[in-house]
């Protein structure tokens, strides 16, 4: 299959992309978080093709993307007031809400679950495509399973060129980590994935929020994860990764003492000159978590093209976006963390 790349957000291109969705095709969609691999969420065969193109296990559910909160009641049962409150505050934006599914949403889409994850992405091109297609777009991240999430159209084509009908290039992703996922089917609500919307924002609206264990620690083989996706191996560079937490000056000093030529280091911008002989990737300024979120997947992905024996990574504190950035780094490290 030859993959078309739409670049200009013209009405013709939006209509052509929407037609691909309506006809059951696969479309790479730009969002503010990461690029998605989209298809008509109500078409079982199209959804099956998403799983096939990614090599994704069938029980790992997809998020469905809608243009606004009025679509919640089309696809979800018993929508509580707090869901609308969250949508009012944070949509379009990096927040996925889990609610009971209506039968119109195929079990294929929800990985067999009675619930469905819904999000309204903050990207004008994708919102226009969904409205034009008039169906929700099911879209997991646009990478091959086990690879890092793509934050540009070029990243996504590395994995998907020739496997999808088209991709719409909407520029680099503004957020760079996936959406935060909040489960509203339980009380108190539970954070299943730390992402682009900080936990503090969710607690401000919802009050108490339980943070699922899978965000901060390794799941043992016997535990049944609340978020089905969490049991699958996450992206990790080929070399073993060690995450070092604590004040950034101390973690830099610790890493400098361990580092030897041939090793890899992911560090804050301020410390890039302190690891001579190492391959160093800049995570961004230590006080700019938004920039760190945009860079974290790239910083890890680049090690795929370089041979390093071992990787050390500095890690921001868990406030705000730090929870999501730290989670992505720690998952890549198999939760091998040195706490200073
Ligand atoms: P991805 O878009 O590749 O990041 O994958 C979507 C993730 O959303 C999955 O791995 C699940 O962890 C989560 N998810 C989607 N739908 C549900 C649901 N109904 N219940 C719990 N988690 C979900
Ligand atoms: Mg993913």
CA–CA dist 220, 223 (Å, integer): 6
CA separation, residue 236 to residues 64, 221, 241, 329 (Å): 26, 18, 8, 9
Residue 253, token pair as written in the block: 């000093």
Query: Which of 128, 153, 327 shows the shortest CA–CA distance to 243?
Result: 327
From 51, 62, 176, 224, the mutation candidate for ligand 1 (largest count of ligand atoms within 8 A of CB) is 62
Q: With the CA atoms of 141, 144, 149 and 150 taken in that order, what torsion angle do they form, in degrees rounded to the nearest 10?
A: -90
Query: Which of 35, 100, 42, 34 shows the shortest CA–CA distance to 66?
Result: 42
User: Could you read off the pLDDT tens digit of each residue along the chain, which spans 340 residues?
Assistant: 999 999 999 999 999 999 999 999 999 999 999 999 999 999 999 999 999 999 999 999 999 999 999 999 999 999 999 999 999 999 999 999 999 999 999 999 999 999 999 999 999 999 999 999 999 999 999 999 988 899 999 999 999 999 999 999 999 999 999 999 999 999 999 999 999 999 999 999 999 999 999 998 887 766 666 666 666 767 778 899 999 999 999 999 999 999 999 999 999 999 999 999 999 999 999 999 999 999 999 999 899 888 999 999 999 999 999 999 999 999 999 999 999 9
Mean pLDDT of the chain: 95
Residues in contact with 133: Cβ distance below 8 Å, sequence separation at least 6, in sequence order:
18, 19, 21, 22, 40
Per-residue pLDDT tens over the stretch 169-214? 999 999 999 999 999 999 999 999 999 999 999 999 999 999 999 9
Q: Contact at 8 Å (CB) between 237 and 303?
A: yes
CB 25 near ligand 1, within 6 Å: no
CB 178 near ligand 1, within 6 Å: yes
Q: With the CA atoms of 183, 189, 195 and 198 taken in that order, what torsion angle do they form, in degrees rounded to the nearest 10?
A: 150
CA separation, residue 170 to residues 34, 119, 255, 267 (Å): 11, 18, 37, 29
Query: Looking at the CA of 50, which ligand is closest?
Result: 1
DSSP code, position 134: T
> What's the confidence (pLDDT) of residue 122?
98
Query: Which of 93, 78, 83, 100 shows the shortest CA–CA distance to 31?
Result: 93
CB 143 near ligand 1, within 6 Å: no
Residue 150, token pair as written in the block: 């793509």
Per-residue pLDDT tens over the stretch 288-338? 999 999 999 999 989 988 899 999 999 999 999 999 999 999 999 999 999
CB 63 near ligand 1, within 6 Å: yes
CB 248 near ligand 1, within 6 Å: no
Q: Contact at 8 Å (CB) between 318 and 327?
A: no
CA–CA dist 311, 302 (Å, integer): 12
Query: Which of 33, 13, 250 shows the shortest CA–CA distance to 143?
Result: 33
């Amino acid at each position: 299959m030859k993959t078309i790349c739409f670049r200009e957000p013209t009405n013709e291109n939006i209509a052509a992309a929407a037609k691909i969705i309506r006809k059951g095709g696969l479309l790479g969609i730009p969002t503010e978080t990461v690029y998605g691999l989209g298809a008509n969420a109500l078409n079982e065969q199209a959804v099956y093709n998403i799983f096939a193109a990614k090599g994704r296990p069938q029980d790992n559910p997809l998020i469905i993307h809608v243009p606004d909160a009025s679509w919640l009641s089309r696809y979800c049962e018993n929508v509580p007031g707090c869901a609308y409150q969250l949508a009012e505050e944070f949509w379009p934006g990096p927040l996925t809400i889990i609610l009971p599914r209506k039968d119109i949403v195929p079990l294929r889409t929800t990985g067999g679950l009675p619930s469905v994850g819904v999000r309204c992405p903050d990207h004008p091109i994708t919102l226009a495509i969904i409205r034009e297609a008039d169906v929700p777009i099911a879209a997991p991240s646009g990478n091959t399973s086990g690879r890092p999430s793509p934050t540009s159209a070029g990243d996504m084509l590395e994995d998907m060129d020739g496997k999808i009908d088209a991709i719409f290039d909407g520029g680099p992703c503004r957020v760079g980590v996936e959406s935060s996922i909040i489960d509203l089917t339980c009380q108190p609500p539970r954070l299943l994935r730390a992402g682009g919307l900080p936990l503090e924002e969710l607690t401000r609206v919802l009050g108490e929020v339980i943070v699922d264990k899978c965000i901060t620690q390794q799941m043992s083989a016997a535990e049944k994860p609340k978020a089905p996706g969490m049991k699958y191996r996450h992206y990790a560079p080929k070399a073993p990764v060690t995450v070092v937490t604590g004040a950034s000056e101390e973690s830099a000093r610790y890493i400098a003492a361990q580092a030897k030529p041939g090793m890899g280091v992911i560090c804050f911008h301020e410390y890039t000159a302190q690891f001579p002989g190492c391959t160093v990737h800049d995570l961004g300024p230590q006080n700019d978590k938004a920039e760190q979120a945009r860079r974290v997947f790239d910083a890890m992905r680049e090690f795929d093209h370089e041979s390093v024996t071992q990787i050390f990574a500095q890690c921001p504190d868990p406030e705000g976006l730090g929870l999501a950035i730290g989670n992505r780094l720690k998952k890549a490290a198999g939760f091998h963390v040195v706490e200073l």
